[in-house]
């Protein structure tokens, strides 16, 4: 770690911090996230999705699929990395992170709907009683699926109403567009192209550090915008996989008796330093989600504890429009 964690700023006097929710593989321990990633009383000890309780935490156990192959699983550390992206683009915000996918990234549509419905219920409870529910301003979703028959009107009968319920309660939803270099609609991101009441639903593709669209990024008229998503640096659990440095000279003692320390190239799957470099629209989405949360905090000063859904939705739409204009 070369730099200190981003400054949280002073605690609010009467209002609250902006809040970003993440449904992903959970969040591991990291110094940047210890005081930022929150537990909600109604969720402590209760998995968002019951199926997620049947697998071990991929932010703690990174090699569950093929445990003898020495390779880290595909999305181990994914949720921690995403939380760190939000931490960087929204330094003053609170983060709520829920585990809904395993270390291979798999989640069924029914599991996703159940998880979103659970969060939507908590958010809706907060509308009438700020002490009873959960206040979210932005929800970041770095997951998705391709529907076999998107032209069938029934294809969105389960997922779309839940997203609309969250948006109607003032929660902006930011979804990753996918990494298959296709214009085929990925859901839930593709719902961004369908007008809905309430706060905006946005689909985010990935840009390279030089500003060009990343070759891996999905695209199409259903993608709302593009944000930095290639060669992103963010937080990681201190995992160490089975890959080895390309070249290594072991510790030796030369002819004069001097100790020569071990020298080696960078270990490609060692994250013991707490940080990693990763690419994907999975990281463009939380980047924009964090910017949106930062914009909401700036627009409100301190965000109110009681939810005026119409005002929250209008402000989210205004801030999102300003970000998209950039």
**Residue with structure tokens 């214009």?**
183
DSSP string of 41-101, one letter each residue: TTTTT--SSGGGGGS--TTT----SSTTS-PPPTTTTHHHHHHHHHHHHSTT-EEEEEE-S
Percent of the chain with pLDDT over 90: 66
Q: How confident is the model at residue 223 (pLDDT cuts 50, 70, 90)?
A: very high
Return the pLDDT at 197. 87
Would you state the structure tokens that stand for residue 20, as one six-digit string? 């970003």
Q: What is the pLDDT of residues 230-279, one digit of tens each?
A: 999 999 999 999 888 999 999 998 888 899 999 999 999 999 999 999 99
Residue 318 has pLDDT above 70, yes or no: yes
Catalytic residues: 24, 78, 282
What are the extents of the domains in the chain?
19-238+273-325
Q: What is the pLDDT of residues 93-121, one digit of tens each?
A: 999 999 988 888 888 888 899 899 999 99
**The domain 19-238+273-325: what is its CATH number?**
3.40.50.200
pTM, 2 dp:
0.92
Are the C-beta atoms of 245 and 321 separated by less than 8 Å?
no
Phi–psi pair at 189, nearest 5 degrees: -55, -40
Q: What is the pLDDT of residues 40-89, one digit of tens each?
A: 655 544 455 555 554 578 888 888 888 888 889 989 999 999 999 999 99
Q: Is 276 helix (H, G, I), strand (E, B) or coil?
A: strand
């Amino acid at each position: 770690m070369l730099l200190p964690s981003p400054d949280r700023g002073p605690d609010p006097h009467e209002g609250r911090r902006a809040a970003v929710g993440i449904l992903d593989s959970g969040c591991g321990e990291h110094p940047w996230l210890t005081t930022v990633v929150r537990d909600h009383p109604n969720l402590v000890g209760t998995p968002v999705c019951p199926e997620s309780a049947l697998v071990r935490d991929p932010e703690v156990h990174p090699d569950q699929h093929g445990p003898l192959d020495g390779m880290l699983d595909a999305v181990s550390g994914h949720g921690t990395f995403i939380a760190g992206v939000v931490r960087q683009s929204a330094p003053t915000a609170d983060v709520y992170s829920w585990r809904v996918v395993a270390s291979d990234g798999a989640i069924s549509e029914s599991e996703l709907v159940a998880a979103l419905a659970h969060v939507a219920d908590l958010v809706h409870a907060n509308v009438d009683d700020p002490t009873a529910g959960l206040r979210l301003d932005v929800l970041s979703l770095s997951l998705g699926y391709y529907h076999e028959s998107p032209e069938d009107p029934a294809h969105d009968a389960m997922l779309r109403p839940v997203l609309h319920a969250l948006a109607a309660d003032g929660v902006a939803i930011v979804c990753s567009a996918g990494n298959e270099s296709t214009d085929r609609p990925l859901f839930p991101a593709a719902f961004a192209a369908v007008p809905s009441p309430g706060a905006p639903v946005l689909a985010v593709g990935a840009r390279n550090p030089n500003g060009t669209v990343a070759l891996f990024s999905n695209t199409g008229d259903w993608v709302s915008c593009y944000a930095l998503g290639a060669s992103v640096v963010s937080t990681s659990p201190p995992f160490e996989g089975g890959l080895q440095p390309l070249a290594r000279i072991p510790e030796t003692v030369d002819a004069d008796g001097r100790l020569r320390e071990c020298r080696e190239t960078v270990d490609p799957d060692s994250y013991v330093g707490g940080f990693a470099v990763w690419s994907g629209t999975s990281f463009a989405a939380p980047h924009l989600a964090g910017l949106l949360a930062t914009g909401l905090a700036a627009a409100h000063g301190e965000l109110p504890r009681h939810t005026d859904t119409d005002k929250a939705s209008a402000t989210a739409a205004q801030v999102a429009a300003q970000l998209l204009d950039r």
